[in-house]
């Protein structure tokens, strides 16, 4: 277990390293070209006048680097009510299987409880078995593969 | 075309009729029991101290009733940036095929452009052919079926 890893809320100066983690995940998800957001847009969306995301990060003090993150926002389900939407949870390859993901998930659960949300939700690629196995460990968790994502770009 | 139908932003007094439309959609989606949100929670999430959703509604002035709605919130994509997430677009069965859906989609597109968002996104059930056909009419729209939804309830 990486007891030295510090979990804390993200601050604006973390954004460059967070974008690097996002790119790392996009590579793994076979879509590196899909990351088109700029550093400035990413920072503004989290720390501008009307923030739309928040995050917890995992920091390795020895080398002063971020090794993981969990980025989320509050969404509204017309069926359930307010929910925490986990957009991305990412742990750097070299720091996997050390309990960092569990600690980040614990912070998200506590945040959802503090905000009196109905639950947490997220998405996983159907071929990402390691992630699906990780998520199956959590109680009261349901998987549904019958929804299609639709994205309309505006230019 | 139902030219008499008025499209406007939702107000708090619309919430009971909106919840009725949500229940109508949940019946169609074969999950009526999944709607567990209360009227008070729905109203608070849209018109409380920290609103998390907004909506356009379609009103039929003749019978003073809501016949459609499009409920959305701003989400953050770590790949694309800020997006409009369309949680539900619902047209009452008796008012379909009269252009109301197109008008609601037009309002959403304009809202996304006004807010300088990168695009719009939503989900559709893989067996809901009428909805999929409707969405295929819009330009620059991509469908992806390889994501699994995960929901963890907190009690």
Mind listing the pLDDT tens digit for each residue in A19-78?
999 999 999 889 999 999 999 999 999 999 999 999 999 999 998 999 999 999 999 999
For residues A94 and B51, what is the distance between their CA atoms, to the nearest angstrom?
Answer: 40
A126 and B146 within 8 Å at the Cβ level: the answer is yes
Place of tokens 């959802």: A112
Residue A148, SS3 per DSSP = strand
Token representation of residue B118: 């990168």
Sequence spans of domains, chain A: 6-136
A55 touches chain B (CB under 8 A): no
The beta-carbon neighbor of B144 closest among A121, A142, A149 is A149
A61 touches chain B (CB under 8 A): no
The beta-carbon neighbor of A85 closest among B75, B88, B113 is B75
The pLDDT, as a whole number, for residue A40 is 97
Q: What is the pTM of this model?
A: 0.95
Q: For residue B155, name the pLDDT band (cuts at 50, 70, 90).
A: confident
Half-sphere exposure of B53 (CA within 13 A, CB side): 28
State the DSSP code for A131. H
A122: chain B residues, CB-CB within 8 Å: 150
B96 touches chain A (CB under 8 A): no
The beta-carbon neighbor of A53 closest among B31, B53, B76 is B76
A151 and B121 within 8 Å at the Cβ level: the answer is yes
CATH architecture of B6-136: 3-Layer(aba) Sandwich (3.40)
Decide the pairing of beta strands A6-9 and A54-60: antiparallel
Distances (CA, A) of B105 to B71, B86, B102, B137: 11, 9, 5, 11
Q: Decide: B150 and A123 in contact? Cβ < 8 Å.
A: yes
The beta-carbon neighbor of A78 closest among B22, B38, B122 is B22
- Our CA-based measurement puts residue A132 at a distance from the nearest CA of chain B, in whole angstroms, of 9
A153 touches chain B (CB under 8 A): yes
Q: What is the chain A residue with the closest CA to B37?
A: A80
Helix (H) or strand (E) holding A2: none
B154 touches chain A (CB under 8 A): yes
Please identify every residue of B annotated as catalytic.
135
Please list, in sequence order, all residues whose beta carbon lies within 8 angstroms of the beta carbon of residue A40, skipping any fewer than 6 positions away.
none
B110 touches chain A (CB under 8 A): no
Q: Give every strand in the sheet of A119-125, ordered side by side.
A: A6-9, A54-60, A65-77, A81-91, A119-125, B147-153, A141-144
A148 and B155 within 8 Å at the Cβ level: the answer is no
ipTM score: 0.94
Mind listing the pLDDT tens digit for each residue in A78-136?
999 999 999 999 999 999 999 999 999 999 999 999 999 999 999 999 999 999 999 99
Share of chain B above pLDDT 90, in %: 94
Q: Is the dihedral of CA B44, B48, B49, B52 positive or negative?
A: positive
For residues B138 and B18, what is the distance between their CA atoms, to the nearest angstrom?
Answer: 25
Please identify every residue of A annotated as catalytic.
135
């Amino acid at each position: 277990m990486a007891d030295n890893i510090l979990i804390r809320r993200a601050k604006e100066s973390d954004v460059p390293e967070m974008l690097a983690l996002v790119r790392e995940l996009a590579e793994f998800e076979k879509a590196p070209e899909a990351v088109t957001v700029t550093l400035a847009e990413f920072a503004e969306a989290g720390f501008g006048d009307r923030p739309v995301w928040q995050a917890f990060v995992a920091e390795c003090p020895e080398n002063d680097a971020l090794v993981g993150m969990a980025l989320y926002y509050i969404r509204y389900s017309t069926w359930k009510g307010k929910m925490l939407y986990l957009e991305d949870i990412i742990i750097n390859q070299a720091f996997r299987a050390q309990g960092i993901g569990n600690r980040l998930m614990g912070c998200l659960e506590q945040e959802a409880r503090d905000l009196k949300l109905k639950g947490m939700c997220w998405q996983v690629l159907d071929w990402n078995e390691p992630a699906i196995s990780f998520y199956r460990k959590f109680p009261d968790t349901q998987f549904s593969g019958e929804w299609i994502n639709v994205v309309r770009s505006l230019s």
